[in-house]
């Protein structure tokens, strides 16, 4: 059983053109999906790297505070918040 799409005769050429364009648009959409998925994977990787580095910085700040360098810890905390160091 074939699909029947009622089309007025004067619109037939327009429908055939749109039907042909449909395949290329589907291919373009699939390519864009691949790009989006790759970008999202890279974003997740970078977020994990930021988290890892932040945790390492926090551990170093704790050690520096213990060793008597509170100004360095203050600078680190300001940097994490995107503020200039004091």
Closest CA to 58 of 25, 26, 43, 80: 80
Phi and psi at residue 15, in whole multiples of 5°? -70, -40
Q: Find out whether 72 and 61 touch, Cβ atoms under 8 Å.
A: yes
Q: Based on the structure, what is the number of domains in the chain?
A: 1
- Give domain status of residue 39, yes or no: yes
Tokens of 85: 């160091």
Q: Which domain holds residue 30?
A: 13-80
The residues, any chain, with a CB within 8 Å of residue 74's CB and separated by 6 or more, are 85, 86
Task: For 22-38, write each residue's pLDDT tens digit.
Answer: 989 999 999 999 999 99
Task: For 39-82, write each residue's pLDDT tens digit.
Answer: 999 999 999 999 999 999 999 999 988 888 888 888 888 988 88
- Give domain status of residue 29, yes or no: yes
- Give domain status of residue 5, yes or no: no
CA distance 4 to 34: 33
């Amino acid at each position: 059983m074939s699909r029947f799409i009622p089309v007025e005769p004067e619109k037939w050429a327009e429908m055939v053109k749109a039907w042909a364009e449909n395949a290329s648009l589907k291919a373009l959409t699939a390519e864009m999906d691949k790009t989006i998925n790759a970008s999202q994977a890279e974003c997740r990787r970078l977020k994990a790297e930021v988290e890892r580095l932040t945790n390492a910085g926090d551990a170093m700040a704790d050690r520096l505070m213990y060793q008597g360098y509170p100004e360095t810890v203050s600078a680190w905390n300001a940097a994490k918040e995107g503020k200039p160091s004091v």
